[in-house]
Amino acid sequence: MAFELPALPYARDALAPHISANTLDFHYGKHHQAYVTNLNKLVEGKPAASMPLEEAIKKSWTDKDMGVFNNAAQIWNHTFYWHSMKPNGGGKPTGEIGERITRDFGSYEAFAEQFKQAGATQFGSGWAWLVLDGGKLKVTKTPNAELPLTAGQKALLTMDVWEHAYYLDFQNRRPDYIGTFLDKLVNWEFANKNLA
């Protein structure tokens, strides 16, 4: 069975005015779709074609099959990113994730500072993450398509910092996009669900 583009968890204009429908038309409709199309071409007739996506990611990483890895991981990363945001999201976390952030970072503000720093300092394309690593919450960043799965970490939340994620709405102002992600978009319920 071919890999498929998962549905967006909200309408394409649902994150406006922070992230526009125009951005989602390109980012979801073109970029995310292209990773699915490319992966299906690359694995046609091969064992990876019938693997669950996470297995295809892990195997291609181990085998250094970077074409398959990059496309498979980018499918996973983008689906995870869409769920890491929601309309009327943002602000301080509640529930278990809120308590764990205070415990492991000292405060929400200290977490936010680290997360902004990770996103702003990822040179070129990549991702900023909140992960669970050995029972402790950590902020990390990865280049290109790389993801916590191959580092043995559990992803709780992600932010895409490839230029295509923000350029139509924020142009070169990556820090403004990052601030908006935290203040207006982040979906803490999703992080709580991943932590559970």
Q: Count of CB atoms within 10 A of residue 24's CB?
A: 21
Least CB distance from residue 99 to Mn ion, whole Å? 31
Least CB distance from residue 163 to Mn ion, whole Å? 9
Report d(CA 109, CA 122) in Å as an integer: 20
- Select 108 or 167, whichever has its Cβ closest to Mn ion: 167
Q: Point out the residue whose Cβ comes nearest to Mn ion.
A: 160
- Select 158 or 194, whichever has its Cβ closest to Mn ion: 158
- From residue 109 to residue 148, the character string flagging contacts with Mn ion as x (rule: CB under 5 A) and all else as - is ----------------------------------------
Residue 160 lies near Mn ion (rule: CB under 5 A):
yes
- Select 155 or 165, whichever has its Cβ closest to Mn ion: 165
Residue 4 amino acid letter: E
Residue 13 amino acid letter: D
Least CB distance from residue 164 to Mn ion, whole Å? 5
**What is the secondary structure of 34-64 as a DSSP string?**
HHHHHHHHHHTTSGGGGS-HHHHHHHHHHTT
**What is the secondary structure of 98-133 as a DSSP string?**
HHHHHHHHSSHHHHHHHHHHHHHHS-SSEEEEEEEE
Decide the pairing of beta strands 154-160 and 126-133.
antiparallel
- Select 53 or 195, whichever has its Cβ closest to Mn ion: 53
- Select 61 or 166, whichever has its Cβ closest to Mn ion: 166
DSSP-based three-state secondary structure for 142:
strand
Q: Which of 80, 162, 170, 181 binds Mn ion (CB under 5 A)?
A: 162
Q: Which residues bind Mn ion (CB under 5 A)?
A: 160, 162, 165
